[in-house]
């Protein structure tokens, strides 16, 4: 089954404690992306990657890091989480050559206290 | 001005009625357009792509108006299960590759 998986699905943590949210896709997609969704602000792109070792900032990259060492995985790293990073996070992937439908993971609800 | 704007709603729709709403975009060079559906706290899922000539998928009709820079979604014979947030998505081609921009979503509530 074609899918994007994210782990963990729910996480409560404290300010400053480094964490990683994993994302994996099994569709051999070149393009992967991280979004955060907050009430009233919609989906905002954090980082994206067009292929292995190719990553770039989205609209709200501050406080986040990513890596793309393998095509299927695109982890999101919060080196020093802060309460304003409390949000619902989605990973997504798509083909670069069309169709451009983005497949989303189930989401990770992060709370930073 | 936001790149992609939607009326947040909610649109309260009686079951069986028709509802329509628009999404405006600011970049006239935008290439592709999509409607996604998102249920509460779940991941967005593609509802339909929007083609230049307009397209229909069952009870859903999407239109593109490039001159006025908006796309629209019309839902006929609304079902209770159509209650969701509908996200407009615009694809642009940037130097770094494709960029997808999401609108804030339009919430639709279908009531008996």
* Gap between the Cα atoms of B102 and B98, Å rounded: 13
For residue B97, pLDDT beyond 90: no
Tokens matching residue B50: 């929007």
Taking contacts as CB-CB distances below 8 angstroms, the residues of chain B near A44 are 102
When pLDDT is averaged across residues B46-74 and rounded to a whole number, the result is: 94
For residue A70, pLDDT beyond 70: yes
For residue B96, pLDDT beyond 80: no
Residue A100's pLDDT is 78
Pick from A102, A105, A106 the residue to mutate for testing the B interface (most B CBs within 10 Å).
Answer: A102
For residue B70, pLDDT beyond 80: yes
Touching check for B93 and chain A: CB below 8 Å? no
Q: How many CB atoms lie within 10 A of CB B46?
A: 17
Instruction: Fill in the DSSP letter of residue B77.
Output: S
Residues in chain A: 113
Residue A7 forms beta bridges with which residues? Answer: A22
Mind telling me how many Å the CA of A15 is from chain B's nearest CA?
24
Chain mean position to CA A66: 8
Residue A96's pLDDT is 79
Q: Are B102 and B6 in contact (CB under 8 A)?
A: no
When pLDDT is averaged across residues B45-57 and rounded to a whole number, the result is: 91
Nearest to A42 among B45, B96, B104 (CB): B104
Chain mean position to CA A33: 6
For residue B1, pLDDT beyond 70: no
């Amino acid at each position: 089954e074609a899918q994007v998986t994210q782990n963990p699905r729910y996480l409560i943590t404290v300010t400053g404690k480094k964490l990683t949210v994993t994302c994996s896709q099994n569709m051999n997609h070149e393009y992967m992306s991280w979004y955060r969704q907050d009430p009233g602000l919609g989906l905002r792109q954090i980082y994206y990657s067009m292929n292995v070792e190719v990553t770039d900032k989205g609209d709200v990259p501050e406080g986040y890091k990513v890596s793309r060492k393998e095509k299927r995985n695109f982890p999101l790293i919060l080196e020093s989480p802060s309460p304003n990073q409390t949000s619902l996070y989605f990973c997504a992937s798509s083909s670069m050559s069309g169709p451009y439908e983005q497949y989303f993971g189930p989401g990770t609800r992060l709370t930073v206290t | 001005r936001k790149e992609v704007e939607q009326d947040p709603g909610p649109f309260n729709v009686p079951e069986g009625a028709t509802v329509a709403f628009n999404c405006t975009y600011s970049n006239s060079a935008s290439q592709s357009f999509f409607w996604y559906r998102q249920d509460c706290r779940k991941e967005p899922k593609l509802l339909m792509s929007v083609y230049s000539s307009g397209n229909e998928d069952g009870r859903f009709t999407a239109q593109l108006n490039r001159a006025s820079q908006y796309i629209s979604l019309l839902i006929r014979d609304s079902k209770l299960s159509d209650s969701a947030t509908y996200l407009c998505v615009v694809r642009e081609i940037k130097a770094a590759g494709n960029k997808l921009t999401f609108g804030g979503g339009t919430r639709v509530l279908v009531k008996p």
